[in-house]
């Protein structure tokens, strides 16, 4: 990756002297951004540009070339890559479009390019991208004509859309947020987003990482990299449709859309997801401040009115106002000319006009142990204060770093002064009070998330009967079918998930005998690999209290199902003892094509899709994560024993969640699994899987 961002010599392929030539734009961008290497323009017509000779082929360049930036029609790219290979060029950025994203012919050209790159060992970005920027050495090769519109900073960007990436950089420039590196990844035929993320995590110049994603190639690798990152990672994920919605055969598949899985994955690995540019801007600003480790803030304001607005905003977003000791208040009063303002938190500095004193008060406030951060509200009252305001903000930045506590600065001034501050200072400046407190809340939440990720424990490993499960899955796979109900129950028992044992029966008489041996009352459920939701087709009969009712239920159930679905194959019924008491939940999982095994727990049993009370994680999960999943459920307080209810057996539920996590991790061939319902009884009484569905 170092060769992508820091080449010493670059061939720009596709250059002509025509004013509208995009390769020419790349050349001019390199010049304007001050690239510190050698640049060779290449184009079939030859000639000259900016006093440089335009070579007709990369192979004509007499010196060694580290990097080729390619912007020629797609049909010519394979030949250019071949020339690069013969020349010994090991890195390339292919900005040309018209490949697999365009048509089948483009896909064939793509395959040629990949084969040539493999033959010569060329690593490349793209195609169908706008290129790379490195503000540290001036390597700037997007084909749109750029000026030095953004300053060097600490934020590095990976974007699957060049246009979105440029719009983010424009917004950063307006907010005074500096850029370190930028990469538009395009079709990701060779170098992908995860490769670039790994590089940014190790890169010294990058302090904050932003990723714009439209799709995720390798979710597991993305999560592993994010967990190891000491740097904050922000992500905006678009293209949030349902995954497998039209073919979902289980409740779990219907509930766990692609976007919910992304949310769960990002939460587990410490990636902070944003949904709009305003929130992104808040994060980029506050992440340059020290982390806010607790909720106790001090508000210091030059204006009493602003102080009141700030106190309201502070309370609205969930912060607390730190209590100041009397000795601290008496010390602050010494700075005032007259005792006309009663000092408290917020501190109203309306009687002071000395910016040096403002600094001293912020310094003394940060020294208080019960103050976790300061919100400083400054009103610039005259043009003569523009210079002193800039000096004050610089000093507050240094003070914030020294104390390792955030100082968020709000400035009320005309737009020209605010713009000047943002361009000259590498420190966040807020112009809306509520937005400043929302940004501080994001800072606090991010610090909590990072602490949770760092302290994440490993999931337990249970002693299970893997060979039994393997045999059951192999049998079903060989017969090209999913597991039957009785087989699914056997799988759960093999992994220590308690089930209500039953007996399979293929006739009314067998069902009656099974019921008598189990003891009345019983439940009867149809067994058929073609029926996903048994209750929807009348395939469940409950509270059967004698032999006659069992026979009648069998005959009535099978007749009605076959009448409604003449082609359905019935494999008999499962007769089970009736389970009474407890609360119904659903426990399930599926294999996500980006992230692997996904675990879901929800309230409501068969009504879970109505309630939509579900919590989700990527397996394997820890015990702490399983407990959090239960706590996240909307009705979890009832499970915990609120309002006079007896507490449910949370330990048994958590154990079942963890065992299912291990099952789906061990057997990725299980596409979807529902335990529905899982009956959770009172504390100490355990839980039981009453029904199960396993789809391969």
Phi, psi (5° rounding) for residue 214? -105, -25
pLDDT above 70 coverage of the chain, percent: 94
Which of these three, 573, 607, 626, is where a domain ends? 573
Domain carrying residue 546: 503-573
Tell whether 665 and 696 lie within a shared domain: yes
Q: What is the mean pLDDT of the chain?
A: 90
pLDDT in tens, 559-600: 988 888 888 889 899 999 998 889 999 999 999 988 999 999
Region of poorest pLDDT, from 356-365, 523-532, 589-598: 523-532
Question: For residue 19, what is the domain's CATH number?
Answer: 3.40.50.720
Tell whether 557 and 587 lie within a shared domain: no
Predicted local distance difference test score (pLDDT) of residue 339: 57
Examine residue 231 and state whether it is found in any structural domain, yes or no. yes
Q: Which pair of structure tokens corresponds to residue 86?
A: 């013969």
Region of poorest pLDDT, from 34-38, 288-292, 463-467, 603-607: 603-607
Examine residue 284 and state whether it is found in any structural domain, yes or no. no
Tell whether 447 and 525 lie within a shared domain: no
Residues 411-416 have a mean pLDDT of 89
pLDDT band at residue 331 under the 50/70/90 scheme: confident
Which strand (E) or helix (H) includes residue 465?
Answer: none
Tell whether 616 and 691 lie within a shared domain: yes
pLDDT band at residue 545 under the 50/70/90 scheme: very high
Examine residue 278 and state whether it is found in any structural domain, yes or no. no
Tell whether 386 and 464 lie within a shared domain: no
Name the pairing type of β-strands 407-412 and 373-379: parallel
Residues 404-412 have a mean pLDDT of 95
Tell whether 439 and 557 lie within a shared domain: no
Tell whether 374 and 512 lie within a shared domain: no
253-259: long-range contacts, CB 8 A cutoff, minimum separation 24: 253/590, 253/672, 254/609, 255/588, 255/600, 255/602, 255/608, 255/609, 255/612, 255/614, 256/590, 256/592, 256/598, 256/600, 256/614, 256/616, 258/592
Name the pairing type of β-strands 347-348 and 296-301: parallel
Tell whether 124 and 166 lie within a shared domain: no
Examine residue 282 and state whether it is found in any structural domain, yes or no. no
Tell whether 75 and 173 lie within a shared domain: no
pLDDT in tens, 114-146: 999 999 999 999 999 999 999 999 999 999 999
Predicted local distance difference test score (pLDDT) of residue 41: 97
Predicted local distance difference test score (pLDDT) of residue 611: 45
Examine residue 13 and state whether it is found in any structural domain, yes or no. yes
In this structure, the dihedral spanned by the alpha carbons of residues 378, 381, 384 and 386, taken in order and rounded to 10 degrees, is 30
* Separation of alpha carbons 172 and 183, rounded Å: 16
pLDDT in tens, 386-401: 889 999 999 999 999 9
* Separation of alpha carbons 446 and 8, rounded Å: 38
* Separation of alpha carbons 186 and 183, rounded Å: 9
Predicted local distance difference test score (pLDDT) of residue 337: 63
pLDDT in tens, 614-650: 899 999 999 999 999 999 987 788 888 876 778 999 9
- Say yes or no to pLDDT of 334 above 50: yes
Tell whether 153 and 293 lie within a shared domain: no
Predicted local distance difference test score (pLDDT) of residue 610: 45
Q: Could you give the number of structural domains in the chain? A: 5
Tell whether 216 and 187 lie within a shared domain: yes
Predicted local distance difference test score (pLDDT) of residue 340: 47
- Say yes or no to pLDDT of 382 above 80: no
Tell whether 672 and 597 lie within a shared domain: yes
Predicted local distance difference test score (pLDDT) of residue 568: 87
Examine residue 142 and state whether it is found in any structural domain, yes or no. no
Predicted local distance difference test score (pLDDT) of residue 282: 86
Question: For residue 234, what is the domain's CATH number?
Answer: 3.40.50.261
Number of neighbours of residue 566 by Cβ within 10 angstroms: 7
DSSP state of 436: H
Which strand (E) or helix (H) includes residue 484?
Answer: none
- Say yes or no to pLDDT of 251 above 60: no
pTM of the model: 0.86
Among 315, 131, 83, 536, residue whose Cα is nearest residue 525: 536
């Amino acid at each position: 990756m170092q060769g992508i961002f820091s080449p010493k010599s670059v061939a720009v392929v596709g250059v002509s002297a025509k004013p509208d030539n995009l390769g020419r734009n790349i050349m001019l961008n390199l010049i304007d951004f001050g690239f510190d290497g050698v640049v060779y323009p290449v184009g079939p017509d030859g000639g000259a540009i900016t006093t440089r000779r335009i070579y007709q082929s990369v192979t004509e360049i007499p010196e060694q070339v580290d990097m080729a930036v390619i912007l020629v029609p797609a049909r010519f790219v394979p030949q250019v890559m071949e020339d690069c290979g013969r020349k010994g060029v090991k890195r390339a950025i292919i900005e040309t479009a018209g490949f697999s994203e365009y048509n089948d012919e483009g896909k064939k050209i793509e395959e040629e390019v990949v084969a040539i790159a493999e033959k010569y060992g060329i690593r490349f970005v793209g195609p169908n991208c706008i290129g790379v920027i490195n503000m540290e050495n001036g390597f700037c090769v997007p084909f749109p004509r750029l000026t030095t519109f953004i300053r060097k900073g600490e934020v590095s960007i990976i974007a699957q859309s060049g246009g979105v990436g440029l719009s983010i950089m424009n917004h950063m420039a307006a907010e005074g947020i500096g850029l370190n590196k930028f990469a538009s990844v395009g079709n990701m035929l060779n170098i992908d987003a995860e490769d670039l993320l790994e590089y940014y995590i190790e890169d010294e110049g990058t302090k904050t990482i932003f990723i714009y994603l439209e799709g995720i190639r390798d979710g597991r690798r993305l999560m592993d990299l994010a967990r190891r990152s000491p740097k904050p990672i922000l992500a905006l994920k678009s293209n949030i449709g349902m995954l497998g919605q039209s073919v979902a055969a289980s409740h779990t598949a219907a509930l766990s859309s692609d976007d919910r899985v992304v949310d769960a994955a990002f939460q587990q690995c410490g990636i902070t997801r944003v949904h709009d540019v305003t929130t992104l801007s808040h994060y980029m600003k506050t992440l340059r401040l020290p982390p806010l480790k607790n909720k106790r803030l001090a508000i210091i304001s030059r204006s009493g009115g602003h102080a009141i607005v700030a106190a309201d905003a502070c309370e609205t977003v969930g912060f607390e106002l730190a209590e100041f000791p009397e000795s601290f208040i008496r010390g602050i009063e010494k700075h005032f000319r007259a005792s006309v303002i009663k000092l408290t938190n917020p501190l109203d500095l309306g009687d002071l006009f000395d910016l040096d004193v403002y600094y001293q008060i912020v310094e003394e406030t940060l020294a208080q142990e019960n103050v976790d951060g300061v919100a400083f509200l400054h009103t610039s009252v005259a043009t003569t204060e523009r210079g002193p305001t800039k000096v004050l903000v610089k000093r507050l930045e240094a003070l914030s770093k020294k104390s390792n506590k955030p100082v968020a600065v709000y400035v009320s001034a005309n737009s020209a002064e605010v713009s000047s501050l943002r361009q000259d200072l590498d420190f966040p400046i807020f112009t809306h009070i509520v937005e400043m407190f929302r940004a501080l809340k994001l800072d606090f939440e991010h610090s909590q998330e990072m602490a949770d990720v760092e302290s994440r424990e490993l999931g337990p490993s249970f002693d299970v009967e893997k060979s039994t499960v393997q045999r059951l899955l192999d049998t079903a796979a060989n017969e090209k079918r999913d597991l039957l109900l009785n087989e699914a129950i056997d799988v759960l028992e093999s992994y220590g998930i308690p089930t209500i044992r039953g007996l399979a029966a293929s006739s009314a008489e067998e069902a009656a005998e099974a019921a008598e041996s189990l003891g009345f009352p019983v439940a009867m459920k149809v067994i058929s690999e073609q029926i996903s939701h048994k209750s929807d087709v009348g395939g469940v009969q409950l509270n059967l209290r004698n032999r006659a009712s069992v026979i009648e239920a069998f005959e009535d159930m099978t007749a009605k199902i076959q009448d409604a679905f003449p082609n359905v194959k019935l494999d008999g019924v499962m007769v089970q003892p009736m389970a009474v008491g407890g609360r119904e939940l659903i426990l399930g999982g599926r294999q996500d094509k980006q992230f692997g095994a996904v675990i879901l727990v929800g309230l409501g049993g068969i009504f879970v899709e109505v309630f939509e009370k579900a919590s989700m994680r990527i397996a394997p999960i820890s015990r702490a994560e399983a407990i959090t999943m239960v706590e996240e459920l909307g009705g979890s307080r009832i499970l915990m024993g609120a309002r006079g209810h007896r507490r449910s057996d949370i330990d048994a539920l958590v154990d079942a969640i963890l065992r299912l996590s291990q099952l789906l991790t061990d057997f990725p061939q299980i596409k979807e699994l529902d335990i529905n319902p899982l009956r959770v009884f009172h504390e100490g009484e355990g839980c039981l899987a009453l029904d199960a569905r396993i789809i391969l």
